[in-house]
Amino acid sequence: MLSYNYRNSINYKITSELIIKKLKFLLSKKKLKDIYFNTSQDCLGLKIIEKGYSTIRIIIFNIKNFNMTVKIFSSKIIPYKTKHKKINNLYVTWGTDKNFKKNGEFSDYFLSKNSRKEKNNLFIVFYNGKFLPKKIDKNILIFYQNHHFLISNYFKALGLFFSNLFNLTQTIINFNWQTLYSEKVEEKVFPNIKNFKIKNVYCVYEGHNHQKKILSYLKKKNKNFS
């Protein structure tokens, strides 16, 4: 008789293999190339993995999550203030107010790095906290969303949607917060790193669209980038 743990391990292996097989199939579809597939977060990619691709299902999901998507249109940055242009390392990470000290110092728990000890290097912090720190070290860029309700964001969202109706199916697929988040990162962050000569990038890579875009952008800028 098989033990409970052994049976569980077999079931886990079968489930993992099926998910990987399904992901490979989905990723081969050109129209799904900008979808963030994640099995641990309630996102469009997870719904497609669970239920399969369906335009109607995607429309329903995007309508249900419209308020979250609209927040992306309030994306802002606090730019770098450093004068250094030759940068060895760029650290791309997440953060909240708990990562910041009152003096503006940032400690990254994922990469075990500190902004004061890395004065000649840069940090991009994707901020999830509700309140921004009052002081921020010069070598830190913060990307965040304004949490205040702004009705203008709804008009921006609808304006973007209707301006892309020439490719309706692709617009419907991409009109989710993960995809639009990465587009806002490109719009807001890239102009602030284009003049830096960056050799290396370190990040806790999770396959997010914005992570892919940052790495792709820097590879194009620097052939020796690693």
Q: Taking the model in full, what pTM does it have?
A: 0.78
What does the pLDDT read at residue 5?
47
Average pLDDT of the residues of the chain: 82
Parse the chain into domains and list their residue ranges: 1-64, 67-226
Contacts of 61 (CB under 8 A, 6+ apart): 44, 47, 176
Q: What is the β-pairing status of strands 140-145 and 75-78? A: antiparallel
**For 188-207, what is the mean pLDDT?**
90
